[in-house]
Structure 1
Amino acid sequence: MELKSKIGPLVAIIITVAAVLWIYAGGHGITASQHDSPTNTNESNSNNAEHTSLSNQKHSVQVTNIQAQSINLYLALSGQTLADKILTLTNSYPGEVVKLYSTKGDFLEQGAPILQIDTRVLKTQIRETSALIKQRNIELNGLNKLKDINLTSHVRLAEAETNLASALTSAKSLAIDLENATVTAPFSGVLNTLDIEKGQMLSDDSAIGTLVSLNPLRIQVTIPQNKIHHIHLGTQGKVHLATGLETTGKVSYISRQANTESRSINVELLIDNPNHSIAAGLTADVTFALSQQKAQALSPALLTLDDDGNTAVKTVDSQSKVVSYPVNIVKSERDKVWVSGLPSEVNLITVGQGFVNDGDIVDIHH
């Protein structure tokens, strides 16, 4: 009985150890079997081969050879005509308008009369002042004679001299008023407006009308700040007016202050307008001829952006490798643009540029 009681637990321990060993051996066998499965190995090799094949596959692109050409660059701008001078005419002597020498729209030479203000009272004052001057001269001469014989004082003599000087000053002032009573054109031009009528009373400094000088005629345009270095005083420009007239002008003024909003600079040209036939305020197209430049022509659809956000095009070099070049548009036409920044001769990608990147090796088709 004693032996049986000892054997029972021993058998149980042996059975338990055997079971654990069997489970362990079976699990490893299953795991090894999964790793060594021919099916899984073949699938893995197939996927790796497919991935390698895709990564090595070349894109096909179509290219065309373009070469640099010398082109004439032009700067086309739109502006307007301006009068050379504009002046609001005013009178300097108050009174009634008694005569109009000119009408609105007349061309006036410098100094031509425009209107006359009543001067009857003024002329009376002038006659009185002339008489007073004679009187003051007589008085002064008499006192000088008395002075020679010591019969007058220096005070009376000085007073007589002052009275004569005052009369002469009054005469000069009246002469200026007489001149101002006739309003004349201060420069040659067109009497563009005339705002008074005969018989109208004018106070001092009343507005009469406007005088406009249109010869030479100014053309004002605004030039972008990145183009202003092409323009200098005396630079010639072709001018095409809305009326159909074409002529040439020279730059006479370049502003030293750029527009803070548009970053452009005002420039003015002068053109001849001897008959004042061209009005101010008309639309004027101005074209400046700039220097020649080497550039290549291509379709604007081939332009793209590089990684830095610059306008660029994609090309293929002699090793069939894609190379991007940043370019600048120097001239635009209806169906093409001219760009700078490329080598003098280059193979430009025209089809397939959207599927390739810098450094890709491609199959080329011309």
Structure 2
Amino acid sequence: MKLRILLLNIYLLLFIFSTAASSANVMVQKVTTERTKEEVKAVGNAEAIHSVILFPAVGDRVTAVHFKPGNFVKEGDVLVELDSRRQKAALKQAEITLADTQRTLNRLSESHKKGAIPKSDLDDAKTLHALAEVALINAKTDLEDRTVLAPFDGVMGLTDVEKGDRITEQTAIATIDDTRSLYINFNAPESAVSILKNKGIVEVTPWQSSKAINAQVSYLDSRINPQTRTLRVKAKLENANEQFMPGMSFRINITMQGESYAVVPEAALMWGATGPYVWKSIDKKAKRIDVKIEQRLAGRLLVSGNLNENDILVVEGVQRLRENQTLTFANPSNLEE
């Protein structure tokens, strides 16, 4: 009985030795590294980079409307005119008064040079001339206030104002938007602050489309909202073709890169009693390496453990490997530079 057990143990040791000594054909590749990626999603709303509601400086009767909704206007274009008959008359009177005080000033200046009048008379003439200049400026300003001009290049919105209407300073004439560029307003989590400061690019996708567009981060708020732990952000989106409008909503995608880890194909990962592990080759001997999965990506895993870039990783033929088993590479060309 003892002899039978002894022989059985000998046969078992010989089997294990022969198995360990036998070479295993495996597929290998060099270990590469990749950074983890975290995607932050948000919803943003578009606003024109310049946008105002136009109000008249004064109230009066509308004599002309020079735009239609949807028109593109240039900065300084006349949009609306109000009744300006009295202001034109006041401007003409101011011009006449100024010209008269100028003639009086010239005449008294010559008389003062000849000693015919005292200096006080000349000073009074200078004062009247200066007051006439101020009156002319006021008259010009009053006349200009009867005209509503475009403050910048932009597209006109809808209006209810028509010729003949009597409007006041509280009457909203129309909106004007510069839509050649848009701001996309959104709230980003505080974890994305560093990437927004350093990279400054976010992907925005209109809800009605699947095509992502890059937008440049223009402004970050000065503080994190303590209730929502988010930061207000403005990203600038070029809109030269004016395909997007203020008020449209966008999906925001921010990709953040983390630490670098070894890349392992899914087929190379094994599971044991202590968790996941892989095999790598050291001097063509199998070495088991325990790893921790850091991130799952399409067809590959990012893992941490004793794996360095350019280590030789066994990717196929891992099922029957044993520690220190001799390896034969079926694809040695994979290891060539």
TM range (shorter): 0.5 to 0.7
Distance 1:233 1:218 in 2: 19
Q: What corresponds to 2:99 in structure 1? A: 134
Q: What corresponds to 2:39 in structure 1? A: 75
Query: What is the CA RMSD across the aligned residues, in angstroms?
Result: 3.6
> Is 2:241 the partner of 1:275?
yes
Equivalences for residues 16-35 of structure 1 within 5 A: none
Q: What corresponds to 1:106 in structure 2? A: 71
What is the CA distance between 1:254 and its match in structure 2?
Answer: 2.1
Distance 2:301 2:178 in 1: 43
Indicate if the aligned counterparts of 1:234 and 1:250 stay in contact, CA closer than 8 A. no
Q: Deviations over 1:24-51 (max 9, x none)?
A: xxxxxxxxxxxxxxxxxxxxxxxxxxxx
What is the CA distance between 1:278 and its match in structure 2?
Answer: 0.5
> Is 2:217 the partner of 1:251?
yes
Q: Name which of structure 1's ranges 164-173 and 223-232 shifts more when overlaid on structure 2.
A: 223-232
Q: Check 1:85–1:273 CA distance in 2 against 1; reply closer, same or farther (3 A cut).
A: same
Match of 2:154 among 189, 194, 213: 189
> Is 2:206 the partner of 1:241?
yes
What is the CA distance between 1:295 and its match in structure 2?
Answer: 7.2
- TM-score, normalised to structure 1, is 0.60
What is the CA distance between 1:170 and its match in structure 2?
Answer: 1.1
Higher relative contact order (CA 8 A, sep 6+): 2
Equivalences for residues 155-304 of structure 1 within 5 A: 155-204=120-169, 206-232=171-197, 235-244=200-209, 245-291=211-257, 293-294=260-261
- TM-score, normalised to structure 2, is 0.64
What is the CA distance between 1:195 and its match in structure 2?
Answer: 4.3
Indicate if the aligned counterparts of 1:233 and 1:251 stay in contact, CA closer than 8 A. no
Identity of aligned residues (%): 19
Matched residues, number: 258
Higher strand share: 2
Distance 1:233 1:281 in 2: 28
Higher helix share: 1
What is the letter of the counterpart of residue 77 of structure 1?
K
What is the letter of the counterpart of residue 279 of structure 1?
M
Equivalences for residues 86-125 of structure 1 within 5 A: 86-125=51-90
Q: Check 1:281–1:257 CA distance in 2 against 1; reply closer, same or farther (3 A cut).
A: same
- The runs of 5 or more residues in structure 2 that have no matched partner are 1-30, 265-272, 279-290, 309-337
- The runs of 5 or more residues in structure 1 that have no matched partner are 1-66, 298-312, 319-324, 346-366
What is the CA distance between 1:74 and its match in structure 2?
Answer: 4.4
Equivalences for residues 6-21 of structure 1 within 5 A: none
Indicate if the aligned counterparts of 1:193 and 1:211 stay in contact, CA closer than 8 A. no
Indicate if the aligned counterparts of 2:61 and 2:82 stay in contact, CA closer than 8 A. yes
Q: Check 1:110–1:328 CA distance in 2 against 1; reply closer, same or farther (3 A cut).
A: farther
What is the CA distance between 1:227 and its match in structure 2?
Answer: 2.9
Q: Check 1:257–1:187 CA distance in 2 against 1; reply closer, same or farther (3 A cut).
A: same
Q: Check 1:105–1:215 CA distance in 2 against 1; reply closer, same or farther (3 A cut).
A: same
Q: Deviations over 1:172-215 (max 9, x none)?
A: 22222333322111111222243422222233464322222222
SS at match of 2:173: strand
Q: What corresponds to 1:21 in structure 2? A: none
Distance 1:166 1:173 in 2: 11
